[in-house]
Amino acid sequence: MKPDFKREQAWWEGKAEGEERDLADEPINRALRWREIERNLKGIRTIAEVGAAAGAFTLPLAKRGYKVTHIDFSAPALELAGRKARGLKNITFVQANATNLSVFPDKSSDLVLNMDGAVSFCGKEAPKTIKETCRICRKKLIVTASNKGWMVPVWTYCTLPKFKKVVHAVTHMAKTGFWHYDQHPHNRKTTPGYFGTLQSFLPAELAALIKKHGFRVKQCHALGSLANLCGQGTVDAALKHRGAMEEFLNLCEYFDKEIMPGGPGTKQRAGLLAVAYRGKSA
């Protein structure tokens, strides 16, 4: 079942104002993504972000002097980001569907970011999004996507108590990572409102899609599993103290890479991270 992009667009347009509000363990997720971005800025002049929303990453990068292209599906998100970018001459705003970035030439940006919804919420079209994101990338790529290791427990939690059985949507999510609002009779009753389509991944699945397009995957693993497993009290304690926050982020990174690379990731936002380089070297 392919996504209904008109409906998806309307859904995203209704979410524009809230995209930068970090709830629960989202601050950990965002901080870990910033760390990866910072590590990959050497030799970079041009940056594009696919699904850039209200500019949480593009605007700070533009303020630091990088030539930035801010790409999003949602007109309200672009308008909001544009207002925040007043006075910046080195950022361009483009409305586009992540599955078709034909307005951009091949290898047009040194670093390309595609994080959160622009991969996962394309559902069955996610491979097209990955292909297009890779195509416009000249050097380095950072992608985050929904983590099957967390989506399966969430879908089970949302359905088994309500329907008193393991519904087909859950087993389908476990086997394929796919969910669509209109796919099965129980799906519309699972979420309080429209929740389009979703494609989640295991680390090996996301890495394989990226490798197909001429990239060397440096790392692909869960993102922020420790924050999820430790609970909100631990996250809140880390957020209150800068020193503790940095130490906790260090531990989160070690946990994700060395202890549980296939873990669930954070509860909120995309819980899977891939960093890749075009060709054989950075």
Q: Domains of the chain by range and CATH?
A: 5-147+201-278 (3.40.50.150), 148-195 (no CATH)
Reading the chain (282 residues) residue by residue, the pLDDT tens digits are 777 777 777 766 676 666 677 788 999 999 999 999 999 999 999 999 999 999 999 999 999 999 999 999 989 899 999 999 999 999 999 999 999 999 999 999 999 999 988 999 999 999 999 999 999 999 999 999 999 999 999 999 999 999 999 999 999 999 999 999 888 888 888 887 778 899 999 999 999 999 999 999 999 999 999 999 999 999 999 999 889 999 999 999 999 999 999 999 999 988 999 999 998 654
Tokens of 167: 């519904």
Q: What is the pLDDT, as a whole number, of residue 95?
A: 96
Q: Residue 282 has what pLDDT?
A: 45
Q: Give the whole-angstrom CA distance, residue 171 versus residue 155.
A: 9
Q: Cα separations (Å) of 151 from 5, 131, 181, 183?
A: 22, 23, 15, 17
- Looking at this protein, which amino acid is placed at residue 217? V
| Res 16: pLDDT | 65
How far apart, in Å, are the Cα atoms of 173 and each of 29, 34, 147, 154? 23, 29, 11, 10
Element (H, E) at 278: strand 272-278
Tokens (6 digits) for 136? 């416009």
Closest alpha carbon to 194 in 183, 182, 186: 182
Find out whether 84 and 110 touch, Cβ atoms under 8 Å: no
Q: How many residues does the chain have?
A: 282
Local structure of 182: helix, strand or coil: coil
Contacts of 22 (CB under 8 A, 6+ apart): 30, 268
Q: What is the pTM of this model?
A: 0.93
d(CA 250, CA 248): 5
The string of DSSP letters for 97-159 reads -TT--TTS-TT-EEEEEE-THHHHTTGGGHHHHHHHHHHTEEEEEEEEE-BHHHHHHHHHHHH
- Give the Cα separation of 100 and 275 in Å (integer): 22
Q: What is the pLDDT of residue 280?
A: 61
Alpha-carbon Rg for the chain in angstroms: 18
